[in-house]
Amino acid sequence: IPKGAPMFAEAMEIGIVPFNPVHGSTITLMNFYDLDVDQTGAMQQKLNVLVAGSQYFISPSSRVSGHVLRDSDRYPRAAQFYESLFGGLGDFGVLKSFYRFHQPDAEETFEVFDHPRVLIFKKT
């Protein structure tokens, strides 16, 4: 990722914030849960601005995406974003996937917190 390139990431994974100085700019955090709570449309507008103005999106784990996709009735807007993203229908495509370990029968926290799959998407 070029230094200073505009990007955003999930707000629930604030562990990414320490990378701001290394990256040379701010990685904007987006709370995807708020998309479906906000009745004013401000969060949808924020997401639209981030998608339009960012070159990269980082998903530091499946914590948020997995939850909203499993509960898409409760989080339809967030689920729509991830369905488009993972289905290759959105503005971003997978640039790099970092996944150290996978155990099919593992408890969810093992893969979400202990061995997360980090996905970096680049605007197509």
Convert the pLDDT of each residue in 18-37 to its tens digit.
555 666 667 888 999 999 99
Q: How far apart are CA 46 and CA 44, in angstroms?
A: 5
DSSP β-bridge partners for residue 98? 118
Q: How far apart are CA 77 and CA 14, in angstroms?
A: 22
* Tokens standing for residue 78: 């967030």
Query: Which residues are CB-neighbours of 121 under 8 A, at least 6 positions away?
Result: 56, 57, 58, 59, 85, 92, 93, 94, 95
Range name among 28-32, 47-51, 67-71 with the lowest pLDDT average: 28-32
The pTM of this model reads: 0.81
* pLDDT tens digit sequence for 72-119: 999 999 999 999 999 998 899 999 888 766 666 666 665 655 556 788
pLDDT of residue 99: 73
